[in-house]
Amino acid sequence: MTPKMRTAAFAAAALLAGATAHAQTITAKFGLATLNDAQHVWVQEYAAMLEKDSGGRIKAEVYPASQLGTIPRMIEQTQFGSIQMWAGPPEFLYGVDPRFELLTAPGLFKSLDQTNKVLQDPEFATAFKAIGEKKGLVGVGLFITGPSAFVLHKPITKYEELAGLKIRVLASPMQVDPVRALGASPVPMSLGEVLPALQQGTLDGVMGSAPVFEPLGYVDAVKFYIDTQHEMVTSTSMISAKWLRGLPADLQKIVIEDGKKEDAAIYATSKAKLEASFVNWKKGGGQVLTFSPAEQARMMALLGPITDKVVDAHPDEKPMYELLKAALQRALQ
């Protein structure tokens, strides 16, 4: 082979290697604790969107039902980059930054539509998704699950009947303080541990939302769903900042923009999942109970002041809280 031929051969090999490297598939692992709820659908649809919009350069594997570990473990893995995304209620990120607890403030949201508008508000959503960036987490998703409630072993008709009960909550003051104010004992616990605790009687109940409880089969352990709607359960999807920074610029843009697209698309699914969860809860032998209007008002009067007390105790939360209140006002216009 002549020197000219060798040069041409080397150039061709280099071009082929470059094309092969460009075409290599980037595998991403996405983890979450729930199953068959809107959160699960969000992750599945986002994964499919990424593969399509990246031309197959990103292939996401979805692992629901805590297959990649407990929620704290998945969050840590996402920060370190050993998995590429975790999705779940932002209150689980309280240890990363206390501002993540704000969306679960009691009495904050008045309806599903208002909640969705706030979560889609560009100013608020951009700021909220950026909270964890210095701790290795980049928000790409922010969406609604459903109103909060209690599932219990026994029926109740007023909040005083929660007194002394051990209720599973998320480990943030916005969840712990309201349950304590209602007279119950708040028990922070990862989701994967909750059903066994209910079955064994070490928990008397759980605070959360129907689209989470029903698919996980809680109705087999507890029968009474107390539809208090005193808070709103939301979800966020956090991408590993380390992984994101390692992607080509065009893929980084796709990762962020596809999250916004899926946030806008998931609301109809969230509402459908909420409605179906009540139907299936009853089919499974469970009951859905509500407080009387007077009792509901009495409970909310008790819980209402908690938000300002928590924020006053954590001054770093105030600027984000002001952004949230402004978004709430815009959502009413």
Does any domain span residue 5? no
- Encode 77-133 in three state secondary structure: HHHHCCCCEEEECHHHHCCCCHHHHHHHCCCCCCCHHHHHHHHHCHHHHHHHHCCCH
Does any domain span residue 115? yes
Domain that includes residue 227, residue range:
23-269+276-331
Contact 49, 254 (CB under 8 A): no
The mean pLDDT value of the chain amounts to 93
Q: Measure CA of the first residue to CA of the last residue in the chain; give whole Å.
A: 76
Structure confidence at residue 13 (pLDDT): 42
Cα(86)–Cα(64) distance, integer angstroms: 10
Structure confidence at residue 12 (pLDDT): 41
Does any domain span residue 216? yes
Paired sense of beta strands 232-240 and 85-88, if any? antiparallel
Beta-carbon contacts of residue 191 (< 8 Å; ≥ 6 apart): 33, 34, 66, 71, 212, 216
Cα(92)–Cα(94) distance, integer angstroms: 6
User: What are 238's two structure tokens?
Assistant: 């956090």
Residue 155 has pLDDT above 90, yes or no: yes
Structure confidence at residue 15 (pLDDT): 40
Residue 20 has pLDDT above 80, yes or no: no
Cα(318)–Cα(324) distance, integer angstroms: 10
Note the pLDDT tens digit of each residue in 274-308: 999 999 999 999 999 999 999 999 999 999 999 99
Contact 258, 45 (CB under 8 A): no
CATH number of the domain that residue 258 is part of: 3.40.190.170
Q: Where does residue 24 fall: left (phi above 0), alpha (psi -120 to 50 degrees), or beta otherwise?
A: beta
Does any domain span residue 7? no
**Position 227 confidence tier, pLDDT thresholds 50, 70, 90:** very high
Q: Into how many domains does the chain fold?
A: 1
Cα(238)–Cα(162) distance, integer angstroms: 34
Note the pLDDT tens digit of each residue in 29-63: 999 999 999 999 999 999 999 999 999 999 999 99
Structure confidence at residue 1 (pLDDT): 52
Does any domain span residue 2? no
Does any domain span residue 168? yes
Note the pLDDT tens digit of each residue in 121-146: 999 999 999 999 999 999 999 999 99
Q: Where does residue 69 fall: left (phi above 0), alpha (psi -120 to 50 degrees), or beta otherwise?
A: left
Contact 203, 106 (CB under 8 A): no
Does any domain span residue 11? no
Contact 303, 106 (CB under 8 A): yes
Note the pLDDT tens digit of each residue in 171-219: 899 999 999 999 999 999 988 899 999 999 999 999 999 999 999 999 9
Q: What is the average pLDDT across 253-261? A: 98
Does any domain span residue 231? yes
Residue 14 has pLDDT above 80, yes or no: no
